[in-house]
Structure 1
């Protein structure tokens, strides 16, 4: 095992003298040598259990993510959490950080200009307080950082990696005996590369076919040699390829303390699939991810043209993983090239920076903008409205499996500018917003709400929160109460934004209760930008107050 000592100027690797312990040199902290940390440094990256550090100015930026309130998940920015807690302000300062146990859930909130996010669970936490040394306690003047980068050790590529890994192996008849043996050889290579042990990675295996069953759990084998011998003895079950059922089994049964789950280690499930699943995987994957399980897919080969008609769920990988950027999925064109992905897979599952695929207020909604394009708005003001729409959209994590954005423009008539399924990246969405052309006409807001529901939200995924943001500058020529009530009853959370001549009673009728949190009014178009942080804050506050699955 290799741990890395890193400074802002670079990295170096220190090997321990013993295989069972790591000895670190610690010098006494003085007022002149308080270690500096950057805004993006997460508590999980620092090995020291308790330390004093100095944060720079400017760490309130939204890109420095914070998870939790009072007690923060170790995946959080330390300095961002310090601002959120009120320990320091945006100008920076000294803080005391103490590592504490992982929590079963983290509550998000908005405090001191920082929006923290909720998280179902995490393996380690920390608290921050004023950076004053405790009496009799010595603090390190140099912080010790962990790294997931690999280093060669006696012919193997070992990494600093403490994860609890479950492989879901394909035992269906479609894989055949020869390819089943190749799959087992791949698992043995992964076990060897991980260097399985109680201080590092642990590995269990579930075989799936018609029904899943545990071959062995996390605590069964504590070294690579015994694990490899056990893998060789696994017999093929046969049956169908019910991946969805297998993921449900993992979520409900595998990562239990009684099965060796350590709590302080990330939970990773790696699904091996020959061809395609014979059941649906999206819902089972979502529930597993919300339980804190990081899902990776290794797909080998796939259906040919004649077989594609039998695929139960198209694009099942993109629907199952938390990001569609290819990080959580590896496609192998042939079983005979499977050995080539051992090291890339090991590197990914040991990268703790990426193992936080949970549902948050920024990645779990379908947001539909309903934009007033009536004559009273005017071309210049309409561009200001589009910038407002873009500024809100920028705050979200946008992809096919994260937040999706759609837009409708209306006058007397309605026009679908783009739907949820059309734009799969943030840049795609921003480009689509720029391309919206001003229409001009009357103002039938009630008809627009009905249209948005029928054209946008009727196609929303069941696991997505449905949010409508309607922007108007005048009173509607038709009834808004009926359409808005129907939208609310069908689960659409509606925000109304009024400008200039918009009617307050209509804005309140359109908005979801409580009105004050879902309706906004401003005299001039140029002041719209002020509402962006408030709308995002309200969306996140509402999300964080809801019970998780």
Structure 2
């Protein structure tokens, strides 16, 4: 019977059943040495605190389970996943997918890919994983990693299988030699590990290389880790914005809701992927009066910013959001505070209920200063409270559109977290941030300059000075207003296109260098040429302005080319000098002609029309809906 029993035991030991190791959401692929393995992930790995770097191919510093959810292999309820290590990448692109915001990373030494848990034929996957760090992820996940088996009889001892495997994997100089007070094998039938929690019999809470086994528990000798510190992201370049968060610190909000507000900020920061090449963020808290907690250049990554947010203490007082918006307009978006100029300015205002001052006028001034105002109203006034609201419908009055893009209403503070992703998606949609565009920084302006013989060299230089005076009024860069120029006689010549110069100084120098051509006056052909050579290359989200200067009647027809310009959305200003025909100027100009056609009797008087032209450009811009 004894021999038969031993055979049965031997048979079972020869055919061990494969079990998929369980890991926690926080386990990074780089912690696991195995090149290919299968694991079981728990539920809840969608949480933004489990960092993921990359898309499809992930940096090994990423959470294995977080990457599995991001890739769509698993959902937030967990499950099994197959992981394969691959070479490090020169760059990892962040993206939002399946409820997980992955982060960008310039480079990392090792990568991995995840796929459905379908084992390949002939491939054996490990039942126990080999870890490179001092922490045991299995214990965190609740896995019962048995280091000791119950002895078959009292007083007998058995070498634990799992412990033997771990010790074999460790190098000889990692573990100290056991002393008499730290036996590797215990005779106690029910060993109890030393540590903060008491697992079931036979469980080891954690094992650390360089630890000594003492009375069935592990006492760490020293921490040991081969993992580098967390990589610092340069930020998501697809969301390059300068962002100010205006948080409500009024007394009415209470400590609990103020903490919810701070958690909301932290979640937004995590989703945004803060960095010098991406979004930067500062925080202003308001009560009776506003105060900057920190500005755009104080913290350059999400981790530091989240720590700073947690340290913010509540100011108390009233809820003067209007005063806070005015403060941000005047003080926050300055170069000294980290404003980059090339990134849209965005201000997100959180309001508990309703403001205790007016916000419409201060918001209008902010918008005209190029700031995109977003309003998030939490627990707005109910019918019986509306009598106390100073400015009814304040949220719609404060933003530049009323289509719901710039305002969000949240019924309860406990539902605020649901707006994280909708808000992040909107503030990062730089093509739709029309409120950061003003009449100074939103156009492609093409000058069409008459270089005919009747102008003369001296007057031509006066015309160029007029062009320069108009140009210098605008904010010129590749992302702001761009300037191009065409000179014409019987023929046409592209002096420079919209994509040639990206600073005001370069544009003004290019205007000075334009040489006088001399010849006839074919204005109609010049308009057609400008449409083809200048405005065809205009950016889709830019306003198109043509400013044509001529001193005489055209030798060809201007009506058809002018109509073509109007149909293509090119706003045309016609400036006539001396012998220019008034009726022709009115045909060329956009309707109404009184706002777009100008005439001066002498070249030396051109400068007088500059302020009126600029004013009309801005008036027209501000009167148009920016949807």
Same fold (TM over 0.5): no
Which structure carries more relative contact order (alpha carbon 8 Å, separation 6+)?
A: 1
Larger radius of gyration: 2
Provide TM-score, normalisation by structure 2. 0.38
